[in-house]
Chain A
Amino acid sequence: MQDNLFVSGHTACAGCGQSMAARIVLNAAGKNTIITNATGCLEVFSTGFPQTAWAVPFIHSLFENSAAVASGVEAGLKHLGIKDRVNVIAQGGDGGTADIGLQALSGMLERGHDVLYVMYDNEAYMNTGIQRSGMTPICAETTTSPAGKRSLGKVRPKKNMAAICAAHGIPYVATASAGYPKDIERKVKKALPIKGPKFMHIFVPCPLGWRHDPSATDKIAKLAVETGLFPVLEYENGEITNVMRFKQLKPLSELLKAQGRFRHLMKESPEAKEALAFLENIVQENIARYKLIKE
């Protein structure tokens, strides 16, 4: 086994899904890798001056420009004639990627830069204190989408980033979950040799923001996939070529009950029932659209 390239000693919370996934991604990529990173938890807990957890070249610039900085790094390496020897991986959280950084990401994909973009999706702005993002699931409670007399949490479903990226006509798009490290590793290794822009959406539980026990990260990361709420799949050249399928899906309530952010849906009220039905409907749509059940 090779040494970790994302080393211990950083200040991530116990049970942080993002730090687990980032380590798997980087170890799969290997040492000939340059990382660009959006502002967010990952950058903050790993690069407090004068320390760094990164054993590869790493650059953090701003919140919304990880994809653009990566485009520049790639262009610079190309000019220097060394791009073929070096992987460029752009990283960001869900807010930095799907909200404030979506324009820069779209530009990078459209221009065709040879970069793997990895979005670590913990479904809210965790670094600033659990505010709602465009990737927060419907009905989840955050500090800016609280449940209350007139609210059941977030009012709209999350963006489908894999489909948005695939629609750019790029060669490779994948979703993955921190609950399946080998799958992440395989996808990173598959993505990197492909020339051009690649996008990976990795589902990473946040115990603090989702209000679950730090020891439950792995279980929840698996449950999201096993219940059909977060489909794990691959697109190649715009077509879905692989889906993680199950003989039988687990009940959605197992996933929701394990997290405090959905606790308000467990009440006996018509609104809560309606919300649960809406979430269940997302699962049914996923089953139909991605053929999640093994035949």
Chain B
Amino acid sequence: MKVFMEGSHAAAEAVKMIKPGVVCAYPITPQTHIVERLSEMVAGGELDAEYVNVESEHSAASVVLGSTAAGARSYTATSSQGLILMSEVLFNIAGMRLPVVLTCVNRALSAPINIWNDHQDSMAVRDSGWIQLYAENNQEVHDLHFAAYKIAEHKDIMLPVMVCMDGFILSHGYEVLDLAEQSQVDKYLPGYKPAYKLDTEDPLTMGLLGSPEVYTETRYAIQKTMDEALALIEKEEREFEKIFNRKQPLLIESYKTEGADKVLIAMGSICGTIKEVVDELRAKGQKVGLVKIVCFRPLPVEKISQALKGVKHIGVLDKAISLGAFGPLHLEISALAQIKNIATQPVSGFIAGLGGRDIRPKTIKEIFSLMDKGAQAASFVDLNKWYKEESPIMVS
């Protein structure tokens, strides 16, 4: 069914159809519209779930940890400082192999306090053992939630999944999207049947002390699962299309990369703008393309390598910066290019769109034009002119 809907409600409608038993969240802008809508659904009897209003994000994450361990499908959502406050628990959830799903409505980190979009929050927890999926538009916001639960609860995965959606741009932006039917969701995603849970009939101790004798193996097990998950996620892509009758890329999407000289790599809503610029430049005869990364964790190394094979100039657009080094996605693509021996030139890194600064087509064009002008390490391409003139960039 076609509807005109903001991204937050597209997420909430998906969560409703997923039928979690426990929803728990703490309010933070711009996540609030999702959980407000879910609490309305619970209050109105549309969603049969326990809605737990907690006193902090640390507790929100802890509640869904506990409820998932008890055997109930659970959901939470947060942004920015909330995600960072949760971070201790996020690592714990992954280590305990609990298939929690969380929506991260991406927002910048303080200081200065800033409620607008970038990817610094989810990038800061990229090592936590969570699978991370990034949505380009509200259709993807809706659809990725179904896939997120399917992936998280897969018996051979059992890892938490974070659905990342750009704050305000998607969460508060209205778009036409095709809402799923409940029957499709029920077919795609059966009820949660945990392989292990806190059960008085079959007692089990969770969260044990892992000595140096076993700790490495627990980490290796997650790394191995992440690796194996790539094939399972790709399978889910086909399964999703079969049931929902639409394509939802779950690993990457290659856009006009055939015969491209220059390919830009990015995640999230900016990919929509990049596609328009690619169309415009292609029309002018420039051989440019985009690789959109949907699944950042696990990083689809083979898929990305295949998409970049033979591309002369590779650029990465990060809406985050590992301060004192490079853009996080840039770092990983550079490593991948070296390990897979695909780059003929160094991979360039561009930083833009921090704290809600709009990335305009002009900036994307500038990035494409810089991509064959020598390596860019962490080039802040949308700095204000007055700042650029006053102080040279430390890393450029």
Distance (Å) between the CB of A46 and the closest chain B CB? 8
Q: Which A residues are in CB contact (< 8 Å) with B92? A: 61-62
B residues 55-84 in Cβ contact with A at 8 Å? 55-56, 58-59, 62-72, 74
B residues 24-81 in Cβ contact with A at 8 Å? 24, 48-50, 52-56, 58-59, 62-72, 74
B205 at the interface (CB under 8 A from A): yes
B199 at the interface (CB under 8 A from A): yes
Distance (Å) between the CB of A219 and the closest chain B CB? 31
A97 at the interface (CB under 8 A from B): no
Contact B21 A62 (CB under 8 A): no
Most interface-central of A52, A61, A104 (chain B CB within 10 A): A61
* Bound-complex Cα distance A71 to B64 (A): 9
Residues 333-352 of B, flagged 1 when their CB comes within 8 A of A and 0 if not, give 00000000000000000000
Q: Which B residues are in CB contact (< 8 Å) with A68? A: 54, 58-59, 62-63, 66
B residues 281-301 in Cβ contact with A at 8 Å? none
> Which of B21, B53, B65, B69 sits near A80, CB closer than 8 Å?
B21
B324 at the interface (CB under 8 A from A): no
If A62-B89, A79-B50, A104-B55 touch, does A73 touch B205 (CB 8 Å cutoff)? no
How many residues on the B side are at the interface (Cβ–Cβ under 8 A)?
A: 42
B391 at the interface (CB under 8 A from A): no
| Segment with Cβ contacts to A, from B108-116, B158-166, B206-214, B363-371 | B206-214
* Bound-complex Cα distance A138 to B199 (A): 42
A182 at the interface (CB under 8 A from B): no
Minimum CB distance partner of A45 in chain B: B209
Q: Which A residues are in CB contact (< 8 Å) with B69? A: 59, 69, 72-73, 76
Q: Can you list 20 contacts pairing A with B, beta carbon distance less than 8 Å?
A: A31-B203, A37-B207, A44-B209, A47-B209, A49-B208, A49-B210, A50-B208, A54-B205, A56-B203, A57-B198, A59-B198, A68-B62, A68-B63, A75-B21, A75-B63, A75-B66, A80-B70, A80-B71, A104-B58, A111-B54
Top 5 A-B pairs ranked by shortest CB distance? A72-B66, A76-B70, A68-B62, A79-B21, A107-B55
A70 at the interface (CB under 8 A from B): yes
B204 at the interface (CB under 8 A from A): yes
B156 at the interface (CB under 8 A from A): no
Distance (Å) between the CB of A255 and the closest chain B CB? 34
* Bound-complex Cα distance A86 to B24 (A): 21
Contact A33 B63 (CB under 8 A): no
Q: Which A residues are in CB contact (< 8 Å) with B181? A: none
> Which of B49, B50, B55, B66 sits near A106, CB closer than 8 Å?
B55
Q: Which B residues are in CB contact (< 8 Å) with A111? A: 52-54
Distance (Å) between the CB of A163 and the closest chain B CB? 20
A286 at the interface (CB under 8 A from B): no
* Bound-complex Cα distance A111 to B50 (A): 12
B residues 189-234 in Cβ contact with A at 8 Å? 198-200, 203-211, 214
Contact A75 B50 (CB under 8 A): yes
A residues 256-295 in Cβ contact with B at 8 Å? none
If A34-B198, A61-B207, A62-B92 touch, does A71 touch B66 (CB 8 Å cutoff)? yes
A48 at the interface (CB under 8 A from B): yes
Contact B208 A72 (CB under 8 A): no
How many residue pairs between the two chains, A and B, have CB atoms under 8 Å in the bound complex? 164
Q: Which B residues are in CB contact (< 8 Å) with A50? A: 208, 214
Contact B66 A47 (CB under 8 A): no
If A79-B50, A107-B54 touch, does A72 touch B62 (CB 8 Å cutoff)? yes
> Which residues of chain A have a CB within 8 Å of any CB of chain B?
31-34, 36-37, 43-44, 47-50, 52, 54-62, 64-65, 67-80, 85-86, 103-104, 106-107, 110-111
* Bound-complex Cα distance A168 to B59 (A): 18
Residues 285-322 of B, flagged 1 when their CB comes within 8 A of A and 0 if not, give 00000000000000000000000000000000000000
* Bound-complex Cα distance A67 to B52 (A): 13
Q: Which A residues are in CB contact (< 8 Å) with B203? A: 31, 54-58
Q: Which B residues are in CB contact (< 8 Å) with A106? A: 55
Contact A34 B70 (CB under 8 A): yes
Contact A61 B198 (CB under 8 A): no
Contact B66 A73 (CB under 8 A): yes
Q: Which B residues are in CB contact (< 8 Å) with A69? A: 62-63, 65-66, 69
* Bound-complex Cα distance A73 to B74 (A): 11
Contact B74 A76 (CB under 8 A): yes
* Bound-complex Cα distance A78 to B283 (A): 59
Contact A34 B58 (CB under 8 A): no
Contact A76 B205 (CB under 8 A): no
> Which of B55, B63, B206, B209 sits near A72, CB closer than 8 Å?
B63
Q: Which B residues are in CB contact (< 8 Å) with A44? A: 209
* Bound-complex Cα distance A67 to B53 (A): 14
Minimum CB distance partner of A64 in chain B: B58
Contact A104 B22 (CB under 8 A): no
Q: Which A residues are in CB contact (< 8 Å) with B209? A: 43-44, 47-49
* Bound-complex Cα distance A34 to B62 (A): 16
> Which of A55, A61, A78, A86 sits near B62, CB closer than 8 Å?
A61
Minimum CB distance partner of B204 in chain A: A57
Q: Which A residues are in CB contact (< 8 Å) with B71? A: 76, 80
Most interface-central of A56, A71, A76, A86 (chain B CB within 10 A): A76
* Bound-complex Cα distance A37 to B208 (A): 11
Minimum CB distance partner of A63 in chain B: B88
Contact A103 B55 (CB under 8 A): yes
Q: Which B residues are in CB contact (< 8 Å) with A55? A: 203
Minimum CB distance partner of B199 in chain A: A57
Contact A104 B59 (CB under 8 A): yes
> Which of B59, B206, B208 sits near A71, CB closer than 8 Å?
B59
Q: Which B residues are in CB contact (< 8 Å) with A103? A: 55-56, 58-59
B359 at the interface (CB under 8 A from A): no
Q: Which A residues are in CB contact (< 8 Å) with B22? A: 72, 75-76, 79
* Bound-complex Cα distance A54 to B209 (A): 14
Contact B66 A70 (CB under 8 A): yes
> Which of A33, A65, A70 sits near B89, CB closer than 8 Å?
A65
